[in-house]
Amino acid sequence: MKRVAVQILGQTLTVASDADEEWIKTLAENIDQRMREVQSKGRTVVSLSAAIAVALNLADELERLKREHEALVRRIASLNQKLAGSLQLAESAEGADVCT
């Protein structure tokens, strides 16, 4: 497990992860940016409150993306079934044409 130093709101934090260092830094930059946005809107000045607000926003975004993903997976499965049915009909029709 690697240790990666990142900066969030001017604080250096060490993150232990198996993920790529650049990935961890990208995530930290995203969190830093979101926390700065929350603070700049005057909603909060306390780091913990900003972190909680960002966490709630990220959780909301994640949940929405999960639902979108699940809907797309269901849609793909439905289209796949229709396509398989159409192919089966086409193959049956070809087989009937060959026999006549």
Question: pLDDT-based confidence at 97, cuts 50/70/90?
Answer: low
Per-residue confidence (pLDDT) for residue 100, from 0 to 100 = 55
Question: pLDDT-based confidence at 99, cuts 50/70/90?
Answer: low
Does 81 have pLDDT greater than 90?
yes
Which ranges constitute the DSSP H helices of the chain?
21-40, 47-99
Per-residue confidence (pLDDT) for residue 57, from 0 to 100 = 85
Parse the chain into domains and list their residue ranges.
2-99
Question: Which residue in 5, 24, 23 sits closest to 14, CA to CA?
Answer: 5
Answer whether 69's CB lies under 8 Å from 31's CB. no
Helices 21-40 + 47-99 axis angle, to 10 = 120
Q: Average pLDDT of 12-20?
A: 92
State the number of CA atoms in the 13 A half-sphere of 44 facing the CB: 14
pLDDT, tens digit (0-9, with 9 covering 90-100), for 27-68: 999 999 998 888 888 766 677 878 877 888 899 999 999 999
Q: Average pLDDT of 9-35?
A: 92
d(CA 10, CA 17): 21
Provide the residue type at 77 as one letter. Answer: A
